[in-house]
Structure formats: C-alpha cells, structure tokens
Structure 1
Amino acid sequence: MAASAEDNENLVPVTVLTGFLGSGKTTLLNHILTATHGKKIAVIENEFGDVGIDDELLQKNSKVQADEEIIEMMNGCICCTVRQDLITVLSKLAKRVASGKLKLDGIVIETTGLADPAPVAQTFFVDDAVKAFARLDGIVTLIDAKHIELHLDEEKPEGVENEAVEQVAFADRLLLNKIDLVSEADLFRIESRLKGINAFAPILRTEKAQVSVDSVLNIKAFDLKKTLDMDPEFLNTDGEHEHDNSVSSISIIQPGNVDLELVQKWVGQLLQEKGAQIYRMKGVLSISNADEKFVYQAVHMLFRGNFDEKWEAGEPRESKLVFIGKNLDEKELRDGFNACIDTPEVLEKRIKTLRFAMGTKVECKTGGGWVKGEVVAHMYRDEFMPPGMVAPYQVKLDSGELIWAPEDVNNLIRKA
C-alpha cells in the first residue's frame, strides 16, 4: 500500500530532470545552487553526462567540502556527484537528515544522457530505505526551443530510440527554454508537436532557464491524490494535436464499474508484453464492490496503486486512464479495458470457467489443514472482504461453518 498523505508530506520530494545537451540544464542547476530562494535543495548530478556543474562556480559558492561527494553551497543547497550507486548517495543524505545536521526541501536528480528515467524512478518504488526518506515527485524535461525540432526529426538507426522524443514522452512538466531565440509562430508549432507526443504535460515557457524553483520542485506529479483530480476535459485530447508517428498519448474515459480481477490480469499482461513501449501510465478506476477509488501510476513495467478516497454520493462512477508510449494501439487498449467492464454477461462467463458446480463436494485448505465441504455459492462476496474482491466459491464445511475460497486453484480448493 502507498504511504498515507501525512507520511508523504514528511518525505523529501525528488525531481528527475532530463533534457538534451544544450537545453539549459546546467544553467538551471547553477541557478538552483546559487540563487537566494530560501530553500535547501540537493542537486544530484550524474557525472557520466556531457554537462557538468561548473567547477569554478562550485568552488566560488561552496562552503567546506566535508565529503568529496557532497558539497554544501553558500545558499544552503547541496551538490552531489553520483560516482557510484544512486542509493548510496541518497543514503548519505538520509543519514544527515536523520541526524539533524541537514534539512532538505527537495532533491533534483539530473539524468544527463538517460532518456529513460525508469531506473531512477525504480529506486523510489522499491528500495525501502529510500522510500522512508524521499518520494518521487515528478519528471521535468528541459527543451531547447531553437533546436528541439532537429532532435525530434533526427533519423536513428533501426532499433535505436530517439532520446528527445522519449524525454518529452516521460515528462510530467515541460520547460520550453530559449524562447527568445524563436518566433511566436515557431513556438506555436513546437508546442503543437510536443502535445502530439505528450498531451498531458503542462508546458512552461522560459528564457535562460530562469524559472521559479517552485515550478520544478514539489509539483506532486506522482502523488496518487493528484492523479484523482485529473480533469476529464484535460484528458479529452482526441483530434486536438498532430501526433508523432510512433510516440503518442491516449486517454480512456469509461463510465461504470470494472472487475478488479479482470483489470489486474489485463494490466499485468499489458505491462509484461508491452511494458517497454509504455513509458507512462496512470489513472483512476471505478472497481465493482469497492466504495473507494483505485488510483495508480506506472513507469514502464513498474506499477504502484491502491484504493484511496471514497466515491462521493451522487458522483458518477467512471474510470479514467492515460497512456503515453510508443506504437500504442488505441483500439487494442480500449478493447482490452472494455473487456474488464463488470456486466451480467462477464459474470456469467466467469462462472462458466469455474471448475466446480454448485453442490460439488470439495476439500478446502484451511489453517487446520484440508477440510471437507460443499460449494454453496459462486462469485461470493461479503462486507469483510478487501475492496473489489470476489471469491470464486463459498463453501459450507461438513461442520456447518461457512468459508470462502479466495482463488480457483488446486492448492486451495480441490475435488473431494
């Protein structure tokens, strides 16, 4: 389960910053490390990138270097260089915060040369120590307005991804930089192209990467609560933009409820088969037999979701899904999701696939071993079950006690 909203507020927000060589990342990072903005921010720089934080600038603005990897700046910010595993650097920061020596308002991780932020994102999904200290807040891509179209149009050898297109596709927010070097007509055309790739990332125009630190930090793009508030009109982008040939964004809004088990199978299969092509996925689902909304986020094959706030009385029950990726088949996605809609026909179909008919004598695996009984109900549910769950069988044991089998598998229920 995800952390509670209160716990999340206590975690340090982390922004992953991507952008092509020359887009202005160094200028932006130098600004964060030297400007008087009143926030304590740690900038973690990938040393293997082509662009580095200016050494002279670091020396001029740094305090004593107590650690060769962590440099404290005059304005209270921290500059770190990743010479080893990212988790190691984050652990060092976490220890300093825990000891009271350091208070952090945010972390910016610059991923020079990495179009795909999934390895960085994975750190905040799966490493327990990091999860207890920091939360992935958003992916921000800096774009050079003067040269972005050249990068987007660059022909790549077969099998090689266009990094510029991927960086746009992964973004939660796009900073369109160097707007003073192009015309308004150019900007309109560029923004249309960017929206064709990723219709869901707001675009912020900038000159010389001079943006408020607040526009990069704590944007809560990975906040499941914020996902709940996705504007249906914002999702309705059909026919609004010209789409890139291979990378695009698709939204689905579907009234009614869906079956939890069918959705889990569909999403699992989708990520297993197409996970490399699905850059980002998020949504809010209306699950049958659940009073709460199911909210989720995914980066490639990495999926996180849970039941969150309740549906309000009178609020229309509907599911909202967003996909951003390469070679997305909209019809296939819609058909796959539609097959999860909870209808009497779907229920009847699921009952037909069950192994045991009503009245069948069975044995059930319980805490006390295998116990004999008889199937008395199909697709059973009661108020004590987790949200959305439906058991394939309710069984009346020979003792007269009623139990349910959570799955139709032989190691839980078998013919007597």
Structure 2
Amino acid sequence: MQGQKIPATVITGFLGAGKTTMIRHLLSKADGRRIALIVNEFGDLGVDGDVLKGCGAENCTEDDIVELTNGCICCTVADDFIPTMEKLLDRDEKPDHIVIETSGLALPQPLVAAFNWPGIKPRVTVDGVITVVDSAAVADGRFAEDHERLDAQRRDDDALDHESPLEELFEDQLTAADLIVLNKADLIDDTRLEAVRSDVAVRSKRSPAMVTAKGGEVPPAVLLGLGMESEADIANRKSHHERAHDAAHEAGEDHHHDHDEFDSFVVEAGAIADPDRFIEQLKSIISDHDVLRLKGFADVPGKPMRLVIQAVGTRIDSYFDRPWSVGEVRGSRLVVIGLHDIDKSTIETAIRQAAGG
C-alpha cells in the first residue's frame, strides 16, 4: 500500500524564512515530475500563490496550484484542507507529488494528523515535513532566549510561566520537522551558523536532519523522497498547543488556539515611480513599526513586468517576476503582517506616501 500512495511534502517555517523561494527552485529542477501545490496564505492577498504561478515551470501548471486563503491551515483542516485534498486526488490526471506550503503562522501538527483521515490515508502519505529557518534572523537573536533572566522573571511573576507565541510557534515548527533547512546561511559567517545550528537543535525534542542553503536552493533529491510517513509518527510531534490542550483536558478546562497575537492587512499604493527610493523608505517604515513581514507586488511605470517585494524585518528582496497579463489591472498591493497591536492606519498612510513620493 505504501508504494501506491502519492507522496506529499509539507513545507513550513516562520514568516519570511524562504519557503516560496525554495519551492520555486524545486519546481525549476523537478525534471518533468508533475507536482501539485497547495499554498496557504495568512492575509487577504494570495501573494505566494501568484509568485508560484509566475514561475513558468512546465511540470506545475496554474491548474496544479490551489490556494487556501480562508485562514491558517491548522485551524481550517476539516473545512478547507481535507476537501481540497480529496478533490485533488479525484482528478483523472493525478500528481506525482504534492507539495503543501503552510503559512508562516501555521502549526504543522494538525495538518500532518489530517493525513490519517479515512478518505486520504489510503491514497497519500506525508513523505516528509520540511521546516525552513531564516538563519540570519536566528543569528540576530530574534528567537534567542536568556534562560537565567527568564527563570528570574518566572519566579517573580506567575503570568510569565509560558513563553511568547512567536517562541512557541518556532519550536512547534521545528518539532514537527523531518528535515530542517537552515536557509540564508550565506548571510552569516561559519561561527554564527554553527551557533544557529546548536540553537535550533535544542529547540526540538526530536533530532531531524539539517542542511544549509542560500536563496532556498536545495536539490529536489534532498527535499523529496524522504519516505518518512510522518502521519504515523504524529504522537511524537506534539505542539505547545496540543500539550496545553492535553493538560487542560486533564484538569477539566477548555483551551483554544487562535492567532489573535497577529494581524495582517493589505495596502494598495498605486504606481511606484522610483522603486529604489520606495524600498529604502519601506525599511524605515518596517523598523519604526516593528513589521514582521511585508510582501506583495508593485507597478513600476514603463516596466512591462510586476515587481515582487519580499521583506523580512528590514531585509528586502525585489525582482521582476512576470509580465502583467492582458486585461490585468496594474497596481501595487502589499500584505503587512505584525503583532495584534500594529498601527494599521499609520503604516497604510506611510506606505502610500512613500509610493507617491
């Protein structure tokens, strides 16, 4: 039975780790293998799906890309993911491999568990869970912990008994992994990279393999064909949420998982006359307002192609990905993701002013 199942790879990782870039590279090197993609967005604008549709890979047509934009995939498994998988598996021309890109806010564990659903289990298996890590961000201390200080605070304040949601999310994604990709390794030196490797290793109770990468360039032979059947091992990959849920259940209490800690919104900014200047101003906006992630497209007058903008903190990448389609309305649209108290109105105004300046 195992040999007859379609393999599926779950690609997860924190906001801006490079998941979409890695998938684009995977598609370009797939050697004719028919790959179907399920892309889960956090926010209202399907940026990652559009970026992947612009990759031009013959082995992955636009019909092979399914976007789930109704919320975090870990919270909509029954309503969105399972029906999508069943529809994909019922096609006459079935894929050779399925790749699922989760949003940066998703818990991988509920998704992996969904592969035990009766309508899915006989036909598809999780070939492996791959967690992509932004090595440069980790090296900069975004997820570093001062254990002595934390212990002192815990002794003084019971309210600090749990770690922050970002910390828990990062660790949950590592705990679910069969393979960890330490991406953007070229942005730090060898000493800092080894420190990142050690930091990542102690955050998971399991011991998944690790590889380093720059620009998401990992050979398909490394990513595909792991043969892990991860859904059969789900009990060993419990998230913080699941452990808290188990503890609450034993205590007779209710426990809910949501993403109230995060917020996202779309900014439409019109044409960008000077993209270099605009990007420099975006760096200031991101820094001033602690934006976690910014991504989207820009309309540059006189250019026949869309400009993709991808920002993680104040590191911003941009490139022209594809021509504007006939009949497509040109415009600049950016998704902004931050914590729940992010100043939406001020950021919207600043981005529009930067675009028009």
- What interval of TM-score do these two structures reach, taking the shorter chain for normalisation? 0.5 to 0.7
List gaps (5 residues or longer) in structure 2.
71-79, 151-158, 251-357
TM-score of the aligned structures, taking structure 1 as reference length: 0.45
How many Å apart are 1:176 and its aligned residue? 0.6
Q: Deviations over 1:176-198 (max 9, x none)?
A: 11111111111111111112123
Contact 2:36 2:99 survives alignment (8 Å): yes
Aligned equivalent of 1:197, options 198, 203, 223? 203
CA–CA distance in structure 1, aligned partners of residues 113 and 32 of structure 2: 30
Q: Is 2:14 the partner of 1:23? A: no
- Name the structure where helix makes up a greater proportion of residues: 2
List gaps (5 residues or longer) in structure 1.
1-6, 62-72, 228-246, 249-268, 277-416
TM-score of the aligned structures, taking structure 2 as reference length: 0.52
Contact 2:49 2:67 survives alignment (8 Å): no
Q: Deviations over 1:230-257 (max 9, x none)?
A: xxxxxxxxxxxxxxxxx99xxxxxxxxx
AA partner of residue 222 (structure 1): E
CA–CA distance in structure 2, aligned partners of residues 8 and 164 of structure 1: 31
Q: Is 2:75 the partner of 1:75? A: no
Q: Deviations over 1:354-413 (max 9, x none)?
A: xxxxxxxxxxxxxxxxxxxxxxxxxxxxxxxxxxxxxxxxxxxxxxxxxxxxxxxxxxxx
How many Å apart are 1:82 and its aligned residue? 1.7
Against the structure 1 CA distance between its residues 90 and 226, is the aligned structure 2 distance closer, same or farther, given a 3 Å change threshold? closer
Q: Is 2:112 the partner of 1:106? A: no
Q: Deviations over 1:67-91 (max 9, x none)?
A: xxxxxx5224622112460112111
Match of 2:229 in 1: 222
Against the structure 1 CA distance between its residues 201 and 36, is the aligned structure 2 distance closer, same or farther, given a 3 Å change threshold? closer
* DSSP 3-state at the match of 2:143: helix
Larger radius of gyration: 1
- Name the structure where strand makes up a greater proportion of residues: 1
Match of 1:188 in 2: 194
Percent of residue pairs identical: 28
Contact 1:21 1:51 survives alignment (8 Å): no
AA partner of residue 53 (structure 2): L
CA–CA distance in structure 1, aligned partners of residues 68 and 60 of structure 2: 20
Against the structure 1 CA distance between its residues 80 and 147, is the aligned structure 2 distance closer, same or farther, given a 3 Å change threshold? same
User: What count of residue pairs does the alignment treat as equivalent?
Assistant: 215
* DSSP 3-state at the match of 2:20: helix
How many Å apart are 1:172 and its aligned residue? 1.3
How many Å apart are 1:47 and its aligned residue? 2.7
Contact 1:35 1:75 survives alignment (8 Å): no
How many Å apart are 1:105 and its aligned residue? 2.2
> Pairwise mapping of residues 250-261 of structure 1 onto structure 2 (< 5 A)?
none
CA–CA distance in structure 2, aligned partners of residues 191 and 82 of structure 1: 32
AA partner of residue 229 (structure 2): F
Contact 1:13 1:136 survives alignment (8 Å): yes
Aligned equivalent of 1:210, options 214, 217, 225? 217
Instruction: Calculate the aligned-residue CA RMSD, in Å.
Output: 3.5
* DSSP 3-state at the match of 1:152: coil
How many Å apart are 1:56 and its aligned residue? 6.0
How many Å apart are 1:200 and its aligned residue? 0.7
Q: Deviations over 1:267-319 (max 9, x none)?
A: xx99954999xxxxxxxxxxxxxxxxxxxxxxxxxxxxxxxxxxxxxxxxxxx
Q: Is 2:70 the partner of 1:86? A: no
